[in-house]
Structure 1
């Protein structure tokens, strides 16, 4: 199955690995980690945030919760809020649970949680529920001109 995310990765000639699994309709990231027998620190979710008319794609491990204050600080924005599912779909072209950071309809600022750098490969959505791509986090940063920062809530 082809998606805009896979087309984007092929076009940019980056190495990636496709992963597929049977998707449920709840807690997509944690389900993906379990279905693929992967550590939750290696599987990342994509969350769309906004500040005024600026949209941000935030990529964090499914094991953690994003700190909106930390993400805003990393991008030198006053604040950030999570967008509603309809806005996320309109901005990215993907449905919630299948939002990929790659091949989005609209270019956004991108921030990757720094914990990704502890992994040789991270999994992110390939643009469809039940499909992920494994990619080197450095390749993701380069491809998306992403900011890398610690954006998880402290427990």
Structure 2
């Protein structure tokens, strides 16, 4: 597994400190983020999942704890929109340039507005996908927001 991805290059370019961790990715897992947390031996709320959504038809990247669900109502409100929905997996892959299970909020092919749930701020460090299946980057949530040009919002 390569430890250099568009996501890690974006972290390097932003000059933020991070540490990479690999785990045995299980594409059959019901909830990939929870499987990653279990494999890494960390609390599920420290492993953030990256979801691609549409708010009023426009792509928005959402980052939330792996044990939480996004409130589409809160997401739409946070973006000043009327409605929100999940993006189809094939569209998410095309927009981000990453495979489902390896989508990162960092280094996406076409940058979308990015929101991180404010629960991430409860932790000194969180995990986020490093740009490929089975690769997680651990870093401070504030550094993630800076590197992803994201803002925090109440999304769950």
Report the more deviating stretch, 13-22 or 134-143.
134-143
Which residue of 112, 116, 125 corresponds with 2:120? Answer: 116
* Structure 1: gaps of 5 or more residues: none
Report the more deviating stretch, 52-61 or 81-90.
52-61
* Partner deviation per Cα, 1:13-32 (whole Å, 9 max, x = no partner): 11111010011112211111
* Structure 2: gaps of 5 or more residues: none
1:91 to 2:85 alignment? no
For the residues of structure 1 that align with 2:48 and 2:60, how far apart are their CA atoms? 16
Deviation at 1:53, TM superposition (A): 4.4
Report SS of the residue matched to 1:95. Answer: coil
TM-score norm. by structure 2 comes to 0.94
For the residues of structure 1 that align with 2:48 and 2:148, how far apart are their CA atoms? 15
1:42 to 2:46 alignment? yes
* Partner deviation per Cα, 1:31-65 (whole Å, 9 max, x = no partner): 11000000001001000001344210000001111
Paired residue for 1:5? 7
For the residues of structure 1 that align with 2:71 and 2:56, how far apart are their CA atoms? 18
Report the more deviating stretch, 4-13 or 56-65.
4-13
Report SS of the residue matched to 2:131. Answer: strand
Equivalent residue runs for 1:1-155 within 5 Å? 1=2, 2-25=4-27, 26=29, 27-152=31-156
Counterpart contact for 2:10–2:147, Cα < 8 Å: no
TM-score norm. by structure 1 comes to 0.94
Deviation at 1:80, TM superposition (A): 1.1
Counterpart contact for 1:113–1:151, Cα < 8 Å: yes
* Partner deviation per Cα, 1:124-148 (whole Å, 9 max, x = no partner): 1001111000111111222223121
Across the aligned residues of Structure 1 and Structure 2, the Cα RMSD in angstroms comes to 1.0
